[in-house]
Amino acid sequence: MSFKTTKEVIEDGDRVILYLSPSNMHSLEVKAKRSNKKGEIIDNMFHTTYGAVRVVSLIGQKYGSKVELSRGWAYVLQPTPELWTLTLPHRTQIIYSPDSSLIIHLMELRPGSIIIETEFKKHGLNTFVTLKERDVCLEGFGEELKHKIDAVFLDLPHPWLAIEHATVALKQTGGKLCFFSPCIEQVQRTCAKLISKGFIDVHTYECLQREMNVQYRSLPILDLECLKYKVC
């Protein structure tokens, strides 16, 4: 799967998004066969709330095509960063579009920026990044990255343990550190560590998104006759 290029026709091995509704979509790999729990090779059938689809039937279809299910229909879409975020399995906290947009803005990222992202889980973006597995809290980011990084993003259970290593990785002209933590206790410990290390301009943000819905209602005309009075 790659977000860099687009295709017209679905091929064997592609990753597609099966779109049933804005709140009901699935990511699946297009393969004719799969293994069941017993290890047997069987036809690959994907089951949805509107029925099942034979995955092999998607091969040769154009992206955006409407496919028929046993009790409805769905669209087969090419993955985009937004759709991939919405269909990614939620094992831990997920960084959604409002969060990622704020992070990119605050870290002042631009084409050509060199960024380190550390996390405790898989993100599904290995087509865009160089992956290395190590304990950054103990080992740091490696001598080869010393003073070469524009920004460091830490999505870890104990981000304060990696702050000293992140400082070494940042360019000597300066850089940005960003932390993503679900608990306020983590935020407090991280901020205390930053201040003790001489960091300035430390901010904490909570990004909330609320959609406004416009509704039209008919209201009765008020009878104001009782308010009338005569002037003598």
**DSSP-derived secondary structure for the chain:** --SSS--SB--TT-EEEEEEETTEEEEEE--SEEE-TTS-EEE-EEEETTEEEEGGGGTTPBTT-EEEETTEEEEEE---HHHHHHHS--SS----HHHHHHHHHHTT--TT--EEEEESS--S-TTTS------HHHHTT-GGGTT-BSEEEEE-SSGGGGHHHHHHHB-TT--EEEE--SSHHHHHHHHHHHHHTT--S------------------PPP--GGG-----
155 is in an annotated binding site: yes
Which position has the token pair 């933590």?
A: 181
Q: Which residues have a Cβ under 8 Å from the Cβ of 192 and sit 6 or more positions away?
A: 160
Task: Report d(CA 117, CA 141) in Å as an integer.
Answer: 10
- Binding site as annotated, residues for S-adenosyl-L-methionine: 155
- Binding site as annotated, residues: 155
